[in-house]
Amino acid sequence: MDESTNLSSDRIYCHNCGTMIESGGAFCQQCGMQVAPVAATTSSPAPVVALPPDASVTYAPIPTPISTPRPLQHSGVGITSFILACAVFVIFIINIASNFFFISSSYHYLILIRSIAVMLCPFMLLAGVITGIIGVVRSNRKKLFGVLGLTFNSIMLLAPIMLVIIIALVLSLAAR
């Protein structure tokens, strides 16, 4: 008889060294490990399948854990573009409001500050357009602030230019 069919229920194997222990033995004769008694189960034992010697065993691949993608972060240069647009807008509003509240010529320092702010605005708008373009083009980042900054900076940069062109056209047509 071959070994796959000669399995009896009275054989127990040591969990420490794997030596066969005859039924009734409390300790392994090889390593001295205490053998725990096997509890009787009501279900039938799992069938033993004997593989032919030339058979190869393939194992199922271990599934790799699925990682959840990180949510995209806002682009820092896009946020910078948006902040520049907001700063230029605030400077513009302050300049308009100061025309109404500070009409007196005694505020020379205010006129100097306003002049410097007005001269810096086109450079801030140009920097806002450039950082907005970079914020929109960057990959793996959210585009919201880049698009908003690019839009607002472009509008505020091109609006005075378009206004000058329209006024020049109207004046040239009126002169005819």
How much is the pLDDT for 3? Answer: 44
pTM of the model: 0.54
How much is the pLDDT for 28? Answer: 78
How much is the pLDDT for 78? Answer: 93
How much is the pLDDT for 105? Answer: 58
Secondary structure in 3-state letters for the chain: CCCCCCCCCCCEECCCCCCEECCCCCECCCCCCECCCCCCCCCCCCCCCCCCCCCCCCCCCCCCCCCCCCCCEECHHHHHHHHHHHHHHHHHHHHHHHHHHCCCCCCHHHHHHHHHHHHHHHHHHHHHHHHHHHHHHCCCEECHHHHHHHHHHHHHHHHHHHHHHHHHHHHHHHHC
How much is the pLDDT for 95? Answer: 81
How much is the pLDDT for 7? Answer: 46
Divide the 176 residues of the chain into consecutive groups of 10 and give the mean pLDDT of each group. 45 74 74 65 57 62 73 91 93 81 66 82 92 92 93 91 92 88
